[in-house]
Amino acid sequence: MLHILYIIAITAEAMTAALSAGRRNMDWVGVCIIAWVTALGGGTIRNILLNHYPMTWVEHPEYLLVTAGGALFAAVLASVMKRLKILFLYLDALGLVVFTIIGCQLAEQLQLPVLIVLLSGMITGCAGGVLRDVLCNDIPLLFRKEVYGSVSIVTGGVYVGIIYLGYGDQWATFTAIAIGLALRILAIKYEWQMPKFVYQDDWEK
Amino acid sequence: MLHILYIIAITAEAMTAALSAGRRNMDWVGVCIIAWVTALGGGTIRNILLNHYPMTWVEHPEYLLVTAGGALFAAVLASVMKRLKILFLYLDALGLVVFTIIGCQLAEQLQLPVLIVLLSGMITGCAGGVLRDVLCNDIPLLFRKEVYGSVSIVTGGVYVGIIYLGYGDQWATFTAIAIGLALRILAIKYEWQMPKFVYQDDWEK
Amino acid sequence: MLHILYIIAITAEAMTAALSAGRRNMDWVGVCIIAWVTALGGGTIRNILLNHYPMTWVEHPEYLLVTAGGALFAAVLASVMKRLKILFLYLDALGLVVFTIIGCQLAEQLQLPVLIVLLSGMITGCAGGVLRDVLCNDIPLLFRKEVYGSVSIVTGGVYVGIIYLGYGDQWATFTAIAIGLALRILAIKYEWQMPKFVYQDDWEK
């Protein structure tokens, strides 16, 4: 079940990433690369940091095809995408939550400390979007808008908490998806924002 | 033979990278780092993703000296470089093609799926320039101008195709270099461009 | 002793990084991530390049807590930080020197060539700041201002030189810290700059 959600999520992430690439006037190679980096980059960075090989997309090159296909499809049908904006925001929320749980699961299996389990979830959930913004030469959105990072931490916390209480992986996954999705959708709806640290100074470190 | 072309290519890449660093007013450490990242970064990222160690430049530290030397030389003689612009554009094309083939060869030896072989070639050929542009705070050129990415894919495709037809590595290398170089030089000459996906919208994901 | 200096240095780096994050109006997740990347990113990149696992912060997750705590503390007390500017510039200099030596030590233990030992020191000392600047969408300061990179190379050179002369690790560490710190503090005081390579041209590679 988580696997099917994963496929849906990477495809949706790739499709919205294509629009970011379009905003920067990229050609079809650029669109594919931005889509891959956004959809698969979080898990890739996590695997590098935890020394977990081979990469998912090396074992399953079909993920590269699915995401590239989705991205090029989105580029061709950009005007349709625009009307489906809300649907894709929800799919993006699904991706955040699903990626986070997959990241936590992997770190759990490697028997890493709980702090690293949470961090592994957050990297898997958020790093793809950060890479996309770096390559598109934006300040990563993650760090500024949206409660994106906070939702990832709560999702991971719920998942880990339920596992530690002994209710098993299935309950933990289900509850964490439900709570994470609800939080993110409420955040979109009511435009929640985390308090920001605003600092103006000429201090050049 | 490929080895000699590789040395020529990394030196030429380092020299043109020095000019990018100069455009950003970097000091000599900055010039060296941008040169290393541009000339050796593609292979380094590929090795990280495919878990292939040690890095080329750890085994052959002399590559670091050659590229740093070339870069500092180019910085001193920037006005001469300017007049040799066409030569360096051709050497850069050589680099793209040679790096791509080396990347494909490595993934072939690791017996990875054909899609990963092509991707390995593209990462080796193109990622150095992307890293350079990220560090110089530009939108990566690869994604916007030039048929750079497409030439890399065609070069890799020709190489892999001939290997699969059973003509052996030497024929494949030779033919792929010839076709890749021809494509790239024609692209420079006639200012070919891939169709671009231009998308203007206030959609903030 | 080096270990205690390391803890002080990563905390100080995290605290000044928090101000960079504040200048970009990041929320608390952004502040933590920028702090982690700045304080622990150099060693992480070095470990990835040298294939040295597990990461320091996977073995010692308490470093993540210390640096995040320091960063959030600095965000709350930003106005106090401002008055301690000189103190933090000195602590930053300490970080540069200590990280460089730790990087050299690791590469020494892995019996890598001397050029890689120096590079390992420079990456450990400087890459965190580069990552911070890339994520904050700045041109890395390292490459433009300050004699940062040069101080790291001198520190590494002194350390390696004394080891090679056979005076043992303790003397090498002590002398390299003293010379590196002195150089950096003099550079701050007298606003030393390395000669810059300034190049203006319309050459688009």
A188-202, C21-35, C114-128, C145-159 — most confident range = C114-128
Q: What is the mean pLDDT of chain C?
A: 88
CA atoms within 13 A on the CB side of C23: 18
Task: For residues C101-113, give the mean pLDDT.
Answer: 95
What's the pLDDT at C204?
A: 46
What are the chain B neighbours of A24 within 8 Å (beta carbons)?
139, 143-144
Task: For residues A57-66, give the mean pLDDT.
Answer: 96
Could you report the predicted ipTM of this complex, rounded to two decimals? 0.89
User: Which residue would you say has higher pLDDT here, C202 or B138?
Assistant: B138
The whole-angstrom distance between B70's CA and the closest CA on chain C is 14
User: Which residue would you say has higher pLDDT here, C198 or A74?
Assistant: A74
Contact A61 B113 (CB under 8 A): yes
Dihedral over alpha carbons C115, C117, C120, C122 (to 10 degrees):
-70
Task: For residues C15-27, give the mean pLDDT.
Answer: 85
CB-CB contact of C43 with A165 (8 Å): no
Dihedral over alpha carbons C70, C75, C77, C82 (to 10 degrees):
100
User: Which residue would you say has higher pLDDT here, A97 or B25?
Assistant: A97
Helix (H, G, I), strand (E, B) or coil at B69: helix
Q: Considering only A12-16, A19-23, A107-111, C109-113, which range has the smallest mean pLDDT?
A: A19-23
Q: Is the pLDDT of residue C165 over 80?
A: yes
The residue whose two tokens read 């509850």 is A175
Helix (H, G, I), strand (E, B) or coil at A82: helix
Q: Cα–Cα distance between B198 and B13 in angstroms, integer?
A: 30
Q: Is the pLDDT of residue C5 over 90?
A: yes
For chain C, give the secondary structure using H, E and C.
Answer: CHHHHHHHHHHHHHHHHHHHHHHCCCEHHHHHHHHHHHHHHHHHHHHHHHCCCCCHHHHCCHHHHHHHHHHHHHHHCHHHHHHCHHHHHHHHHHHHHHHHHHHHHHHHHCCCCHHHHHHHHHHHHHHHHHHHHHHCCCCCHHHCCCCHHHHHHHHHHHHHHHHHCCCHHHHHHHHHHHHHHHHHHHHHHCCCCCCECCCCCCCCC
Contact B25 C201 (CB under 8 A): no
The whole-angstrom distance between A69's CA and the closest CA on chain C is 29
The tens digit of pLDDT for each residue in C122-163 reads: 999 999 988 988 888 777 766 666 678 889 999 999 999 999
Residue of B nearest to C136 (CA): B137
CB-CB contact of A12 with B197 (8 Å): no
The tens digit of pLDDT for each residue in A119-174 reads: 999 999 999 988 988 888 777 766 666 678 889 999 999 999 999 999 889 999 99
List phi, psi (to 5°) of A27.
-85, -175
Best residue in B27, B77, B94 for a mutation probing chain C (most C CBs within 10 Å): B27
User: How large a percentage of chain A has pLDDT more than 70?
Assistant: 93
Selecting from C25, C27, C134 the residue whose C-beta is nearest the C-beta of A134 gives C134
What's the pLDDT at A137?
A: 78
Q: Is the pLDDT of residue C3 over 50?
A: yes
User: How large a percentage of chain B has pLDDT more than 70?
Assistant: 93
List, in sequence order, every residue forming a beta bridge with B112; answer none if it has no partner.
Answer: none
User: How large a percentage of chain A has pLDDT more than 90?
Assistant: 59
Write the CB contacts of A174 (distance below 8 Å, at least 6 apart in sequence): none
Q: Chains A and B: how many Cβ contacts under 8 Å?
A: 99
CB-CB contact of A65 with B178 (8 Å): no
CA atoms within 13 A on the CB side of A135: 30
Contact C30 A143 (CB under 8 A): yes
Task: For residues A22-42, give the mean pLDDT.
Answer: 89
Q: Is the pLDDT of residue A11 over 50?
A: yes
Q: How confident is the model at residue B204 (pLDDT cuts 50, 70, 90)?
A: very low
Q: Is the pLDDT of residue C171 over 60?
A: yes
The tens digit of pLDDT for each residue in A72-89 reads: 999 888 888 778 888 888
Closest CA to B3 of B62, B78, B89: B62
What's the pLDDT at A205?
A: 42
Closest CA to B74 of B123, B121, B13: B13
The secondary element (H helix, E strand) that includes residue B50 is helix B28-50
Interface of A with B (CB under 8 A): 16, 18-31, 33-34, 44, 48, 53-55, 57-58, 61, 64-65, 75, 78, 82, 85, 89, 92, 129, 134-137, 141, 145
Contact A203 C65 (CB under 8 A): no
Task: For residues C113-121, give the mean pLDDT.
Answer: 96
CB-CB contact of B133 with B141 (8 Å): yes
The tens digit of pLDDT for each residue in C61-94 reads: 999 999 999 999 998 888 887 788 888 888 889 9
Q: Is the pLDDT of residue C187 over 50?
A: yes
The whole-angstrom distance between A170's CA and the closest CA on chain B is 30
